[in-house]
Amino acid sequence: MTALLDEHPHLGVEPVLRELSIPSSTYYRWRRAEREPCERVRRDAELTEQIKEIHAGSGGIYGSPRVRAVLKREGVHVGRKRVERLMREADLAGISPRRKGFTRRDPKVTLAPDLVQRDFTASAPNRPWVTDLTMIATGEGPLWLSAIRDAFSRRVVAWETSARADADLVLSTLEYALASREVEPGQLIHHADHRCHGAVGLGGGGMRHGG
């Protein structure tokens, strides 16, 4: 109706409203909505800019799970589907490490050192984290569960699922874990056994994080 009046201003607002039995308050509310985008639209625009920065900062590699994990780490809580939609609308997509052949460890690459030396005891939280990848059989095919457990409390710090057992799944889980905990600089060791699927793309052994 607003488009009609925009195209034919000579008709006059009030006569058209009377003819269509539309309250003038409704018409002017529509006009305000056109001039002032709703809060969700404004928030989508802000999120899209943040997503573009994260995506560009990853070299165009991060897909929606890892972008969402980084947002969470920065204190921005947003649903998975919303991130997927905004990335789609912004024509942003991640690059699957699987397509680049990262799902298998290169036998020529030196393994990361085992910083825990098979000692999975801990004197405090967020010292050793242990990651593992498990396949769950479903009627629609295999579902991979990536989980990170705190060696101190034995509790799961973060988990993520995917139809693919690739590095993106493992790294997304790590992003979620780092977003959920306050990690002291130089204290955390993230360990993945190179003999299990959890080491996909990580090379096994342990990685020390600075928080």
Q: Which residues of the chain have pLDDT under 70?
A: 1-11, 16, 19, 34-37, 96-120, 193-211
Sheet holding 156-162, edge to edge: 156-162, 141-150, 128-138, 188-192, 205-209
Buried b (16+ CB within 10 A) or exposed e, 80-94: eebbeebbeeeebeb
Q: Is the pTM of this model over 0.75?
A: no
User: What is the C-alpha to C-alpha distance for residues 174 and 158, in angstroms, rounded to an integer?
Assistant: 7
- pLDDT score for 37: 64
Q: How does DSSP classify residue 199? A: G
Buried b (16+ CB within 10 A) or exposed e, 22-31: eeeeebeeee
For the chain, the structural domain boundaries read 2-35, 40-95, 128-209
- pLDDT score for 59: 83
Per-residue pLDDT tens for 19-75?
677 787 777 777 777 666 677 888 899 999 999 999 998 888 888 888 888 898 888
